[in-house]
Amino acid sequence: MSSSILIVDDQEFNRKLLAKILDDHGGVVLREASDGPEALESAFAEPPDLVLLDVMMPKQDGFQVCAELLADERTKTTPIIFLTALDDKEKKVEGLLMGAADYITKPFNRGEVLARVKTQLRLRSLTKTLAEQNQRLLEKQRIVDTDLAAAAELQRTLIPSEEIQVPGVELAWRFLPCDSIGGDIFNVLQLGDGVLGFYLVDVTGHGVPSAMVTVSVAQSLAAHTGGVANGSGPGRIPTPVEVLHKLDDEYPPDRFGKTFTISYVLVDTKTGKLVYSSAAHPPPVLLRRHGGVELLEEGGPLIGLGGFLPYEQGETTVEPGDRLILYSDGILEHAPEDQPTYLFGSERFLEALTAVRHRSLDRSCQAVFHQLDLHARGSSPLDDITLVAIEFGPMAEAEDNRPASGAQEGKM
């Protein structure tokens, strides 16, 4: 494709000489203008790839024309080479500071003209190519951003809605993915006969690959799908250890190339019995109504390692006013950007939880996140951060604890 050059000089001889030099070289479309207004009209109507612009002209000098070309959206990226017989270094510097690309001195030397013009046309071609590639990249990024937004919205549908009402408990949470979408997922399952299941999953890594696994795991655990949280027959709910073993079977190392941690807790809201197990996940915290703090530490290895070690299960009893805290290790590992080893840590986390124990559940979560942000001095997290808080109310009556759609009633 030919390049277009606009030659601007009030002397016809100079225009014709430059046209002859460039025309002999070939591969260019030449246009001429005899003064500044004519040059501006021509350039704005059809922006050229290069302007050869005389400095000394009537009506408007080259500096004035240059300023208008560079100020206009249509020609602001068009390179300009000044044509001058002036042996004035200050004027040359002035032109270059204005944004001119180069100078050609009079009388014209054929070799100099061709060398300087070819250089600017080559740079112009590269600039246009880069601009086109950048536009294509921006369009692709727009599509990716749209897809990520859709994926994030899908992920949000897999966690409890703010309006959810679960008999026997109050829920509050904070979820902060380090990317548009995250590798953490959590939910509450109404499994029937007053039994609730709580889980928090943390898939290794973050971003789209990890989020895809979280969606799959959430579907596997969903009560209404007949997944791993449901028993094989009526009248029985799988224990946490059984659920972890089923997950370990469903997610072998070669399925997604991802492992994940999980805390899984069952609570009978009629009796207060709590049974739990974790797969390499930070231990849930039980904040007793009267001030005690317990770590629920029973568990086993990561999900996705092939079950080379058994999972252990713990059991306790909760009372009205007790709080259960599930969280991801992104909380413990959050740190200032300029001090990546200055982690928030489990000790600060427990102190933050107990310090706001008297506040409402939602305000407690908010306060813990505030302490986390203060510690990291506003730094963005390098891992997904999730905090789920459950407060137990009065023990529910059996008839008030009906199973969610598709869930099986039973005992744990």
> How confident is the model at residue 264, as a pLDDT?
97
> How confident is the model at residue 205, as a pLDDT?
75
Higher pLDDT, 145 or 400: 145
DSSP state of 73: T
> How confident is the model at residue 400, as a pLDDT?
43
Q: What is the CA radius of gyration of the chain?
A: 35
Confidence of residue 401 (pLDDT cuts 50, 70, 90): very low
Q: How many Cα atoms occupy the beta-carbon half-sphere of 99 within 13 Å?
A: 16
- pLDDT tens-place string over residues 172-187: 999 888 876 778 889 9
Domains of the chain: residue spans and CATH: 3-131 (3.40.50.2300), 160-411 (3.60.40.10)
Do residues 398 and 194 lie in contact, with contact meaning Cβ atoms separated by under 8 Å?
Answer: yes
Question: Looking up tokens 């899908």, which residue turns up?
Answer: 154
Please list the residues that pair with 186 across neighbouring strands.
200
Shortest CA distance to 195 belongs to which of 275, 267, 124, 92?
Answer: 267
- pLDDT tens-place string over residues 129-163: 898 899 899 888 887 777 667 666 766 666 777 66
Higher pLDDT, 370 or 25: 370
Q: Identify residue 25 by its one-letter amino acid code.
A: H
Q: Answer whether residue 196 shows pLDDT above 90.
A: yes
Confidence of residue 166 (pLDDT cuts 50, 70, 90): confident
Q: Which two tokens stand for residue 168?
A: 């026997």
> How confident is the model at residue 287, as a pLDDT?
97
Q: Answer whether residue 406 shows pLDDT above 60.
A: no
Q: pTM surpassing 0.75?
A: no
* Region of 195 on the Ramachandran plot (φ > 0 left; ψ -120 to 50 alpha; else beta): beta
Higher pLDDT, 166 or 25: 166
> How confident is the model at residue 20, as a pLDDT?
92
| DSSP H helices in 158-239 | 208-221
Q: Answer whether residue 215 shows pLDDT above 90.
A: no
Average model confidence (pLDDT) across the chain: 87
